[in-house]
Amino acid sequence: MTTIALILIAVALFELIIFFHEGGHYLAAKKCGVKVNEFALGMGPKLFSFTRGETTYSLRVFPIGGFCAMEGEDEASDSPRSFNNAKIWKRMIIIVAGAFMNIVFGLVLMLITLLPQENFASTTVSQFSVNSFSSVTGLQPGDQIVKINDYDVNTSTDFSFALFTLPVSTVDGSELKIYKEDCSFDLYVRATELVDKDTTDEQNAALVKTLQEAQSKLAAAESKEASYAVFSDYYNKLADVLGKEHSAEIPKIEERETRQRYRTDITVIRDGKKVELKDVDLLTLKKSAEDDTPQLQIDFYIEPLEKTFGTVIQQTFANTVSVVRMVWGSLIGLIKGQFSLNDMSGPVGIASAITQVAGESLKTSGFGSAVNSIVYIMMVITINLGVVNMLPFPALDGGHFLMLLIEAIFRKPVPLKVQSVINAVGLVLLLGLSAVIAVKDVWKLFTGG
């Protein structure tokens, strides 16, 4: 029953997104004096409808969309209140209003997701994990990250998007920084091997402190010999912390010709000055013992921001802007080939993702957290809809807006027949893409791919 409730909540929120989008067109049309023939939620046959004034309001069978049918929008009309007879600036407002309302609704959903949080994430490094790579290749506590791989970082959303879209690199395995990373990581492995069921919390804390001391010295080392000296010194200091025997032999650091790393340039504010850090390595691990696929792990902690009325409002607006940038960045990545068709999802894939995320949240944190996860995904979807729908592509609002721009520039509308053909071709292409994505989503659902 709980799963069914979550699915119903997701469907209701999805239709609410459509309601806000089409509602934007509807309200703008009414304010601009354009006649609205029908306002519908859902697609397909009508479940029920009623008429108030000049507009029919309907609910349709399939909860996958909706529409706001205006007089003279897609056909010739002599009515003075038809869309095509309205002044061009009014038509532009009507077209843009749908996307605008999506962004407004996204702001509301963002606020809802932020309110339960005890504090917010900043973009300032507080400390490093005990197996950190980045601590020995450039980053320092107190660094405020403002750019990763040429992507501006203003919020935690920017931070996450920039990191998790990084490409993996094959690097020279003989580099000093790789050697220092291996020293640091092997010390961490040594510490985990020394810990047993009798290790106290105080001893664990002392181990962490000792590892952090070693990281600091490794970061300052200027040669492999100096790095190995630090490694050798701390290899048995870790044993001293737990009162264990020293190792009879200090192991060597294995060197290979190449390594895979998530490596990036990072710009930080350090002591009030902008500092460019080149080739910072982030913790790169194998997916599993059997799978060598490199996986990125964040190897440092971020300072929290205190939750106040001011930070709630600031974070709501800032993170909404970040999601808009994330959607736009994803579209650019798709054009550049950074993302593939396999990374795209339609209604089936989105529903599957919502179910998985909500189910995981339900197991770990309860019903409230599951709902909050759904709200967050819906926030991304509504902003995605607002941004994508304004792309200058036929059959989208952006394509329609482009036609209006051409009309404004040349003082003459694009012939309705030409618009109809262009929109029909665009619609066929969109439906074809949607069908391909739907088949791919269903395939992944049944194969687990």
Per-residue pLDDT of the chain (449 residues), as tens digits, is 555 665 666 677 778 888 999 999 999 999 999 999 999 998 888 988 999 989 999 999 887 788 999 998 877 788 889 998 899 999 999 999 999 999 999 999 999 999 988 899 999 999 988 888 898 888 999 999 999 999 999 999 999 999 988 888 899 999 999 999 999 989 999 999 999 888 899 999 999 999 999 999 999 999 999 999 999 999 999 999 888 888 888 999 988 899 889 999 999 999 999 999 999 999 888 776 667 778 898 989 999 999 999 999 999 999 999 999 988 888 787 777 766 656 565 555 555 566 666 566 666 666 667 777 788 888 888 998 888 889 888 888 998 999 999 999 988 888 878 888 888 887 787 777 766 766 665 666 556 55
Matching residue, tokens 């027949």: 417
CA–CA separation, 256 vs 357, rounded Å?
Answer: 39
Query: Which tokens sit at 341?
Result: 């068709």
Query: Which tokens sit at 187?
Result: 């010390």
Tell me, what's the pLDDT at 330?
80
- The candidate with the shortest Cα–Cα distance to 59, out of 45, 74, 73, 76, is 45
CA–CA separation, 21 vs 98, rounded Å?
Answer: 4
Query: Which tokens sit at 247?
Result: 């190792």
* Neighbouring C-beta atoms of residue 415, cutoff 10 Å: 9
Tell me, what's the pLDDT at 43?
85
Q: Is 73 exposed, middle or buried (0-12, 13-18, 19+ CB in 10 A)?
A: buried
What residues contact residue 88 under an 8 Å CB cut-off, 6+ apart?
A: 404, 407, 408
Asked if 176 and 135 count as a contact pair (C-beta separation under 8 A), the reply is no
Query: Which tokens sit at 273?
Result: 């000055």
Tell me, what's the pLDDT at 222?
93
Burial profile 171-210: b = 16 or more Cβ within 10 angstroms, e = fewer = bebebebbbbbbbbbbbbebbeebeeeeeeeeeeebbeeb
Tell me, what's the pLDDT at 129?
87
CA–CA separation, 312 vs 110, rounded Å?
Answer: 10
- Max Cα–Cα distance, the chain, nearest Å: 95
Tell me, what's the pLDDT at 434?
66
Give the DSSP H or E segment for 260.
Answer: strand 258-270
Asked if 172 and 178 count as a contact pair (C-beta separation under 8 A), the reply is yes
Tell me, what's the pLDDT at 311?
94
Q: In 3-161, which ranges are E strands? A: 36-52, 55-70, 119-128, 144-148, 151-152
Tell me, what's the pLDDT at 374?
80
Nearest 10 degrees: CA dihedral of 122, 128, 133, 138?
Answer: 70
CA–CA separation, 108 vs 84, rounded Å?
Answer: 33
